[in-house]
Amino acid sequence: MYGALPYVSLTSLDARSARTAPALRHIARTPDATRTVILSTPHPTTDPHRFMAEADASRYLLGSWVLPAVELAGPGQGAWHASPYVPVLPLPTALGVLGGPLPERTVRALAVALAETLSVIHGQSLTHAGVSPAAVLLAHDGPRLTGFGAVRAAAPDGVERRGLVGVDASVLAPEQASGGMPRPLGDVYALGATLAYAATGSTMPERDELPSWLRPTVARCLSRDPAQRPQLAEVVQELAPGPGHGGDAGFGVPEQAAALLGPGWLPARLIAALAHQAAAVLRAETPATAHVLTR
């Protein structure tokens, strides 16, 4: 157990992306082994008060594909928050397991799920301000978007956000990187960069590296002019495959991602890695006997 934390850390969740992960995230368990959680603590350079304020706000996020905080540090417990554990792989880890980018079906499903999730968040008059590859966790039934407010927690408005631990500068919209207030169209920029990463392994690939079906959407998302970026409903319409899947996505509108996240949405190798992680969590009893949970 670390300091006042009421959990024992079993393993880090972000071995492949520790610097750009929105927090220091661990799979952890209570000392009596009754509960397992995903535990997040701030990076040493992150303001713990802003970190906790964003964690508190995340508890009220709506949408099927978010992973909000459900438990926050109490008085004298430092800065941390926890969410119930489900087997998950951060997107950078998933690409490492595969040895390359995600297949088209997975990227399309991921795109629609994240676009719908951001649409719901924006419908709550909120800006996520933390979309990045490391903020996306892949589970067997769909993605989980984490990192709410990571940009705001890392540095206040007016402060340049390049080179900060906990913020992936390669996905930051130019107006956010220079210290501007995070706004919804900045989330669209970050979504485009994250989808580019899922499809190529790079957040800023050359145009010809992007598959043709994804190229126009990503190019518009990554426009330096926010007014030229697409609405999230357009992202869904462009990337949901087949008739009947495209359409409006927004606050209060039925989700379309569920139709794309059925069996087979993840490659078999990732399903096996999730099963391996779940089994290792069951085996782990103390930090001394914990196993590396992602390959």
Cα(195)–Cα(235) distance, integer angstroms:
11
Q: State which amino acid sits at residue 136.
A: V
- Per-domain residue ranges for the chain? 8-87+271-283, 89-268
Buried b (16+ CB within 10 A) or exposed e, 237-252: bbbbeeeebbeebeee
Dist. CA 164–CA 161, nearest whole Å: 6
Say yes or no: do domains 8-87+271-283 and 89-268 share a fold.
no
Distance of CA 230 to the CA centre of its chain: 20
25 strand-pairing partners = 40
Pinpoint the alpha helices (H) of 38-173. Answer: 48-58, 91-98, 104-123, 150-154
Q: What is the DSSP letter of 66?
A: B
Choose which CATH entry (3.30.565.10, 3.40.50.2300, 3.30.70.20, 3.30.200.20) describes domain 8-87+271-283: 3.30.200.20
Q: Which CATH architecture does the domain made up of 89-268 adopt?
A: Orthogonal Bundle (1.10)
Q: Which two tokens stand for residue 123?
A: 């419908």
- Note down pLDDT in tens along the chain; length 295 residues: 444 678 999 999 998 888 899 999 999 999 888 999 999 999 999 999 999 999 999 999 998 899 999 999 998 899 999 999 999 999 999 999 999 999 999 999 999 999 999 999 999 999 999 999 999 999 999 999 999 999 999 999 999 998 899 999 999 999 999 999 999 999 999 999 999 999 999 999 999 999 999 999 999 999 999 999 999 999 999 999 764 444 444 443 446 888 899 999 999 999 999 999 999 999 886 554 444 344 3
**The predicted structure's pLDDT at residue 182:** 96
